[in-house]
């Protein structure tokens, strides 16, 4: 996924906040009189027909998705995280930060393209100046000078662009290695990847396969390093459903902003 695209860490925060709000709301429920059922707490009022709940997420490929979720968990535990651990051990924190800044800067091209496609004028200008400032004063993006100047990242991908123009999620999909997605977002990621390779800002398309391999491998390690999520650490027997619901909600928020 091109952006996975801070995937699960950012997914868990809305769920945690929602849970806190739910619990605080429950503490303020007025006591009903014996034999009475207040109208606002009736089954019809609580479970509404016009609301899509987590259990109703469109997941027609659930069997495949659950199997892929388990595969991703095993790959993450026995392959990905050990590599990320070695990476973190070998490189000092300032170097890790510079690697992250470099990749964020180079993929500002994807953000810029999709902000333009969505006709977001202010976000387009912010992204353009981030790219210029960090590439020059930030020494090829190794330092995030733009953020220090108050020009924040405006992350956009082609999945968000499609959603911006009204295309629905499509079926939920767990992608090998990359994790939660849906048909629209997965297709959008492919478009972003093709577009990035066509622009080829680092001149990678020069038949130097080793150079491409190093670029893509380091990018994958850096992205996983920046994600704090660990499979099956939630302690919930419904982790699959939780991740599915939170991913879907996060993407709705990404598209609406």
pLDDT for 154 beyond 90:
yes
Q: Give the mean model confidence (pLDDT) for residues 171-195.
A: 97
CB 168 within 8 A of CB 128: no
What does each C-alpha distance from 8 to 103, 126, 173, 204 come to in angstroms?
19, 26, 15, 30
Q: How far apart are CA 255 and CA 162, in angstroms?
A: 9
Q: Give the mean model confidence (pLDDT) for residues 34-39.
A: 48
Q: Give the mean model confidence (pLDDT) for residues 129-149.
A: 98
Q: Where are the domains of the chain?
A: 58-256
Would you put residue 143 in left (φ > 0), alpha (ψ -120 to 50) or beta?
beta
Q: What number of CA atoms fall less than 13 Å from residue 182's CA on the CB side?
A: 26
Q: What is the pTM for the complete model shown? A: 0.76
Confidence of residue 14 (pLDDT cuts 50, 70, 90): very low
Contacts of 151 (CB under 8 A, 6+ apart): 126, 129, 130, 133
pLDDT for 211 beyond 70:
yes
CB 155 within 8 A of CB 111: yes
Kindly state the tokens that stand for 42: 């009736």
Helix, strand, coil shares of the chain, percent, nearest 5, are 65, 5, 35
CB 130 within 8 A of CB 153: yes
pLDDT in the model for residue 196:
94
pLDDT for 26 beyond 90:
no
Q: How far apart are CA 56 and CA 35, in angstroms?
A: 33
Q: Give the mean model confidence (pLDDT) for residues 116-143.
A: 98
């Amino acid at each position: 996924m091109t952006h996975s695209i801070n995937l699960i860490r950012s997914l868990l925060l809305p769920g945690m906040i929602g849970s806190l709000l739910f619990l605080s709301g429950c503490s303020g429920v007025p006591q009903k009189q014996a034999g009475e059922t207040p109208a606002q707490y009736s089954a019809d009022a609580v479970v509404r027909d016009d609301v899509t709940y987590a259990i109703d997420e469109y997941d027609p490929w659930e069997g495949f998705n659950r199997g892929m979720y388990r595969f991703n968990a095993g790959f993450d535990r026995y392959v990905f995280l050990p590599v990320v651990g070695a990476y973190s051990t070998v490189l000092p924190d300032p170097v890790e930060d510079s690697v992250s800044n470099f990749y964020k800067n180079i993929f500002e091209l994807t953000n810029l393209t999709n902000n333009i496609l969505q006709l977001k004028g202010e976000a387009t200008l912010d992204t353009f100046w981030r790219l210029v400032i960090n590439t020059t004063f930030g020494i090829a993006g190794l330092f995030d000078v733009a953020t220090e100047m108050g020009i924040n990242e405006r992350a956009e991908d082609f999945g968000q662009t499609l959603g911006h123009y009204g295309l629905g999620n499509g079926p939920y999909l767990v992608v090998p290695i990359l994790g939660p997605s849906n048909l629209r977002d997965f297709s959008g990621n492919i478009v972003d990847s093709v577009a990035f390779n066509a622009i080829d800002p680092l001149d990678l398309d020069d038949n130097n396969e080793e150079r491409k391999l190093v670029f893509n491998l380091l990018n994958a390690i850096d992205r996983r390093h920046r994600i704090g999520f660990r499979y099956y650490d939630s302690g919930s027997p419904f982790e699959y459903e939780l991740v599915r619901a939170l991913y879907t909600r996060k993407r709705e928020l990404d598209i609406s902003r």
